[in-house]
Structure 1
Amino acid sequence: MTMGITLNCNQQWAHGTCATSLITGTSNPDEARAAAQRQGWRTHPDGQDYCPGHSGRPPLIDANVVPLRPGQEPASTPQAGGSSTAASTVREAAELLRRLADTTTAELRADGSWHLHHVSRERWFMEGVSNAVPGPAGQLAGLLAPESARFVANLLDRTVTPGDEGIAPIPAEAFLLANNIVRSLRR
């Protein structure tokens, strides 16, 4: 089992807090905060962490994930047969998204409870999810309909090429998204 530090934004309002978090993949607090700072996070002198949206700093643009030393890959979720590379993590996430999109599309077609007469077929997923999970969380979850998941999978695929295991740089956002998808589905 791999353990890592997850930073959470400490921005608070009268009726809630910011839900932004950053999975760093390291168990060292200094490394976690350094990684967060490179993504636009800010640590207040009192130890509170703030996401880019609440820190006044934009995240770094065009950051890439590249091996630091030959044979050493960025931290990612190991596969059953050993450790994975950044490129294989991105490919695995794209395949997982496609598989989930295909399964969800089949369920939408077969299960009549998704068929809403007052909205178009394209909005069945979004409306069904937002009805089941009210508020912004349901709306956000509903936005990743099967068609959108396939687009994200295609975008992830464009960041890696066949055989680029540890050779070509991968945009940091693509790797972090892929790593979060793979980790979330393995929990």
Structure 2
Amino acid sequence: WNDAVEELPICDSDSEVIIKAKKLLKLTLVRSFKAVSPAALNPLKDVTTLGKVHLNQLVHPAIDSALWIFSNVNYVYEEIPLQGQESKLRADGIGYINDVVNYIIICCEGARPGAPNKKKIDDESKNTKSMVGLYNYIITSEVEARKQLYIDLRTYGITAFRTDISLTMLDFRGAYRLFEVDRYSLPRDWTDMPNFVYMYGALVKWS
């Protein structure tokens, strides 16, 4: 599998999306292979024993690569304060527009795989609040600078709970509207191959 990914050809006849998808596979798929390769010692088999390090090794790098390849969005993963948040909310990861203003349009919340179910609800609530705050900050900043407002402005969210990842989007049409664009589960062993398809399909669609 590893050799097949490394030798995956990029052809002149490939569409732009296919070319970018192949680049994403080359950059990220080997990490997943490494995670599941120890067989009985595979840490993903028992999610209760995993620490938050799985976010840095498996979740964040795939999101980082997908956003850069498909949207030219810079993604940074660490505890980061969010723009324009009076309560000084912080996120586990942020994505910002790669231009002169560098507005943050993406926020991520993640939990250790052994976290209680309440953490999932808390993270989803916090992420929604952060997405609204980021949206308002961009609008307010553009108005204060007397610039033309963005058309179809959206902010985006990532919630990682155990091995499940939810990818969301928020916009405003008279009221804030929150959508789940897609979700996927991290592949946990070699019998979990369909989840690789779902994972990359979700990342490409959302990015």
Answer whether TM exceeds 0.5 for this pair. no
Relative to its length, the structure with more strand (as a share) is: 2
Max Rg structure: 1
When the two structures are superposed, what TM-score results if normalisation uses the length of structure 2?
A: 0.28
Higher relative contact order (CA 8 A, sep 6+): 1
User: TM-score, structure 1 length as denominator?
Assistant: 0.30
